[in-house]
Amino acid sequence: MLKRLRENKSAQGTLLIVPTLIFMIGMLIIPLLLTLVVSFGQRSADGGVIYTFSLNNYIRLLGFTTDCPSGVKTCFTSLYMEILWRSLVLGFNTTALDILLAFPLAYFIARARPKWRDTLMFLVLVPMWTNFVIRVYAWMMILRDQGVINSLLGWLAGLIHVPFKPLDMLYTPGAVLVGMVYEFLPFMILPIYTSLEKIDNSLYEAAADLGASPFRTFLRVTLPLSMPGVVAGTILVFVPVMGTFIVSDLLGGSQVILIGNLIENQFLSARDPAFGSAVSLVLMALTIIVTYFYTRKFGFGGEIVA
């Protein structure tokens, strides 16, 4: 039997994927199916789930509700759609800013001398060794009224004898955006750096021999060949940004509610797991759709533009 197994490549492949398949079924497929079942249920009086088949949770997410003034059976509120739209905008803005910040840094590291590359990448990874929440608290210390920035500005204003009022930076959408960009920047730098490092120097030499300017070389050689890293980094940033709630909780307070905060509140505070499950599935579906069309548009392959 062992001899037949050694000769049967198909059976060997099947045996190799069995552990992963079991893990995927137990830790991903079954929980998703349970979430789907719960999303069609209703909240019980004690915060549990009444297992029925109803689309009320999804209808409620769209804004239609029966919690209306007297005499009105159904009314509409845009609250949840506004939260979803705010999350999408923040996800796009965070991803775009991370690309703009990560690309030149990754390019600088990739073109640096080999003996410096490991040191520079080490410096990029050092912040990731610190707990995620601690890094967010550090930004709270920087952005608060008596924080680093306002203290520095107040000191400068005192030197030139100008009245100074502390800037309201904490608990604003801008603070959440800054926190998101900072937290997920390394996830954009690493894949872009990997793509840039693989570009053969002879391609740059050939472009220079053919009279291409540095800017044209970037557009025709560097950018197309680095697109696999940009696409991978976009997915690594956009997907977790859409679901995270710690950054908006701490840096946005109650002023910036995202879809991740809504899901957290439904499970932990409102004790409505049915509605929380529905929101989770809609978020997952929306993220998959955006990621699918993005990868279809830009793809994971890169080629030199003629």
The CA angle 57-58-60, to the nearest 5 degrees, is: 65
The predicted structure's pLDDT at residue 6? 65
Distances (CA, A) of 59 to 97, 225, 282: 34, 44, 12
CA torsion angle 119 120 122 126 (round to 10): 130
Q: What is the torsional sign of CA 225, 231, 237, 240? A: negative
The predicted structure's pLDDT at residue 301? 59
Domains, the chain, with CATH or none: 1-39 (no CATH), 79-298 (1.10.3720.10)
The predicted structure's pLDDT at residue 300? 59
The predicted structure's pLDDT at residue 67? 64
Q: What letter represents residue 199's amino acid?
A: I
The predicted structure's pLDDT at residue 1? 58
The predicted structure's pLDDT at residue 184? 94
Q: Which of 153, 130, 143 is nearest to 173 (CA)?
A: 143
The CA angle 120-121-125, to the nearest 5 degrees, is: 120
The predicted structure's pLDDT at residue 161? 80
Q: What is the pLDDT along the chain (306 residues), one digit of tens a residue?
A: 556 656 666 766 777 788 888 999 998 899 999 999 999 999 988 888 989 988 989 988 888 776 666 656 667 777 888 999 999 999 999 999 999 999 999 999 998 888 888 899 899 988 888 888 899 999 999 998 888 888 998 888 888 888 888 888 889 999 999 999 999 999 999 999 999 998 888 888 888 888 888 889 888 888 888 999 999 999 999 999 998 889 999 998 878 889 999 999 999 888 999 999 999 999 999 999 988 888 887 765 555 555
Return the SS3 of 305.
coil
